[in-house]
Amino acid sequence: MNLKTIDLNLLVYLDVLLRTRSVTQAAESLGISQPAMSNGLRRLRDLFADPLLIRTKDGMTPTERAEQLQPLLREIVAAVEKAVDPDKGFDAASAERVFRLSISDYSECTLLPPLLRAMRSLAPRITLDILTPSDVTFKDVESGKVDLVINRFDELPQSFHHQTIWRDDFACMVSRHNPIREQFTLETYLEARHVWVSKTGMGIGVGVEPGTMQGLSWVDEALARLGKRRKIRVFTRHYQAAMQLAELDDLVITLPSKSARLQRDNPDVVILPPPFDIPETELKMAWSALLHHNPAHQWLRGLIARVASELD
């Protein structure tokens, strides 16, 4: 196909249509009439030989071809926007704005305190709005309503940009009065009572079925490979709560080492290496292609990466 015959404005139309999934909203966003947008959609369907958006009971739903095109279109449009709109930079010291971050409890207790200490001097007028993963859907992130999501992910939408913040191994915490500390072996570990603490996924959270151990957490998956399972008596999504429970004399808490090290000065707990191998876990930040070239957003991502690299 000859590029000269293509109206490149149609790519902008499709980019907005796929984000809004509404002819009316897309027209309003671009400042054109609804008939003009409808005509644009018709021409796009001819261009790609695909319906692109189909009306269903849930509204306008993109076809498989449209979903494949969306991340590529976003990159193309964002690159054009960056080329024609000179980068004025971002003055963090004087900026007044809110960044909305969806952060897991693990990230909140380990990463957030040093991040706030850094921002106190570098960007004193910036406000952080911290959301839990269950408050947010991937659609919220994709649309740019949420600036960043920081968590451990099994998978991410193809359109997202992402960066690894750190990799972390695991540690065990027990009370200094817990006799298990004197002989901490796989056998005594399996005989003990445990607190389960793990990530909360995106969207509304659901309860845990203790009888279904497969996929519960990295710890239980590592045990399952040995043909073993632990005795879990408490399920929590809150790392601070789990670390406090380590002070009880009859519980073992297994969690990422960066969380455990927050309690290294607590005289009531002892931190021990797990008596079996647990693969490292990976913390990532992910964001929408809509914000990828935004100077303020680039500054925030850079600061988070730097703070994370300096964290013990």
Give the whole-angstrom CA distance, residue 20 versus residue 12.
Answer: 12
> Domain boundary residue among 28, 49, 84?
84
> Domain boundary residue among 32, 62, 84?
84
CATH code for the domain of 184: 3.40.190.10
pLDDT of res. 283: 92
Residue 301 and residue 267 share a domain: no
Residue 90 resides in a domain: no
Residue 230 and residue 176 share a domain: yes
Residue 255 CB neighbour total at 10 angstroms: 24
pLDDT of res. 59: 81
pLDDT digits (tens, 9 = 90+) for 170-214: 999 999 999 999 999 999 999 999 999 875 555 544 455 555 554
Residue 56 and residue 151 share a domain: no
> Domain boundary residue among 84, 114, 147?
84
Backbone angles phi, psi at 102, to 5 degrees: -100, 115
CATH code for the domain of 52: 1.10.10.10
Residue 147 and residue 55 share a domain: no
pLDDT < 50 positions in the chain: 204-206, 214-215
Residue 231 and residue 245 share a domain: yes
pLDDT of res. 11: 86
Residue 151 structural domain:
98-167+282-310
Domain count for the chain, please give it: 3
Residue 92 resides in a domain: no
pTM above 0.75, yes or no: no
Give the whole-angstrom CA distance, residue 83 versus residue 87.
Answer: 9
> What's the chain's average pLDDT?
87
